[in-house]
Amino acid sequence: MFIHAVMVAAILVIVWMTNWVYRWRNPRCNGKLPPGSMGFPLLGESIQFFKPVSSFDIHPFVKDRVKRYGKLFKTSLVGCPVIVSTDPDFSHFIFQEGNSLELWYSDSFMKLIGQHKLTTSTGVTHKYLRNMIMDQFGPEKQKEKSLLEMEDMARSTLYSWSKQESVEVKEAVTTMSFGLGSMKICSYDPSKYSENLKDKYTSFIKALICFPFNIPGTLFHKCIKDQRRAISMLKDLLTERLHSAKKYGDFLDVVVEEMKKDDPLFDVESAAYFVFAVLFASFETVALAITLAINFISDHPSVLQDLMIEHDEILRKRENKDSSLTWNEYKSMTFTSHVIDETLRLANIAPLILRRATKDVQVEGYTIPAGWTVMVCPPALHLNPEKYNDTLAFNPWRWKGQGSNTASKNFMAFGGGMRLCAGAEYAKLQISVLLHFLVTKYRWTKIKGGEVVKAPGIIFPNGFHIQVTERQ
């Protein structure tokens, strides 16, 4: 009798598991899902997606599935059902659609950033928050103040590099960019704290997509610990500001003024998470873009030559060669802008952009179910041979005659639509200013490293070391 009961139980378990696996592989949908595979239960196809590659080409995970299923396919990553788009028209539609597709990140990143309502806000709230950020980082503010701040930071940074035998570029640029961003956002002075706020951010880019298992020894666990310390530091700073009449002229002043209103959008907790997210966005991708630009230029002498011609011409036209950069001089840096666009196109610093369907979305005869994640794959757009010749070549001249590139169907380095990166111009300005002083005042030699691995974010496994000397 006991053996019979065990056999019945085993059969029920097998039936349940078989049904569970079947439902995993064949998700419910009020329509027709795009083709693709959901992979193994829970794990999905995460292992293949995270496989490191040492190439700027489209990741084999995406390339193989486009060949097999087409430009739109379904998969599952870190436990989430995902529709991947490599189609320019559909990707453009995703950025324009604000009613049925909301801004989204992975579950792990959402837990680290916190405050889902503010992070994924839409409509009036999103517009209000965006205007707050644009007031600090938009073009008008940059004309008034940011250009001089960036010049001071670039001059002091490059001078310090020239006094060192070797500089690891990514770390050095991150320190510079964080210093600038934290100064503009919260007038942060590391000397006042026992811990450095920058150190709490170092692992966050790796947590953009990972399993959100808060278990000691995991990447996510370390990120959670660092996040808690960073949030605690920012809460202390906000509390101090709330009880002080002193004004600093930074972004935190704007946030604190909002907190003092009769019906405030923030309390201390949500304000700390909001500032945390803005600060992260202000430096990490900019630092990576600068590092990659210097790396590309190092490997392409003809690019360096044309950069020097452009920037030397700016100095030649001045009455005083040592005077500060002007906004008109920045806007004249045409080839520099091409170098930045080409760096962003080829490197694909943001290898994926996520949205989440708030209701069923119909597209090209398929249905994207509510609750599913939609992932736009910029590399597939930026390395499209139908749009770009010799896609893996670093060729800034390909942008000649195309004007300023921020967002289009075939170029989405800064996203697009209502969610176009509010700091796009700020990022380009910071890169341009540093390159101006690097090529006019200094020379550099590549010592070691510079090799890139994408997993899916970009890392330099051997660093990127250069020696900087003053230009004779």
Q: At what angle do helices 147-162 and 424-441 cross, to 10 degrees?
A: 40
Give dist(CA 73, CA 95) in Å, integer.
Answer: 18
- CA 264 to each of CA 5, 255, 270, 297: distance values in angstroms, whole numbers, following the listed order: 62, 10, 11, 47
Contacts 24+ apart (CB under 8 A), 70-73: 70/34, 70/35, 71/380, 72/34, 72/363, 72/364, 72/366, 73/34, 73/35, 73/36
| Count of Cβ atoms closer than 10 Å to residue 237 Cβ | 20
φ/ψ of residue 357, rounded to 5:
-75, 125
| Count of Cβ atoms closer than 10 Å to residue 261 Cβ | 9
Reading across the β-sheet that carries 72-77, which strands appear in turn? Answer: 72-77, 80-85, 373-376, 353-357, 101-103
Mapping DSSP to helix (H, G, I), strand (E, B) and coil, where does residue 82 land? strand
Residue for token digits 């940059």?
142
Express the helix, strand and coil content of the chain in percent, nearest 5 each: 55, 10, 35
Amino acid at 75: T
Q: Is 421 annotated as a binding residue?
A: yes
Give dist(CA 151, CA 161) in Å, integer.
Answer: 15
154 touches 433 (CB < 8 A): yes
Of 351, 365, 330, nearest to 143 by C-alpha is: 330
CA-derived radius of gyration, the chain: 24
Letter string b/e over residues 320-340, b meaning 16 or more CB atoms within 10 A of that residue's CB: eeeeebeeebbebbebbbbbb
Residue for token digits 């989204």?
104
456 touches 351 (CB < 8 A): yes
420: left (phi over 0), alpha (psi -120 to 50) or beta: beta
The tokens for 184 are 């503009």
Annotation: binding site for heme: 421
Annotation: binding site: 421
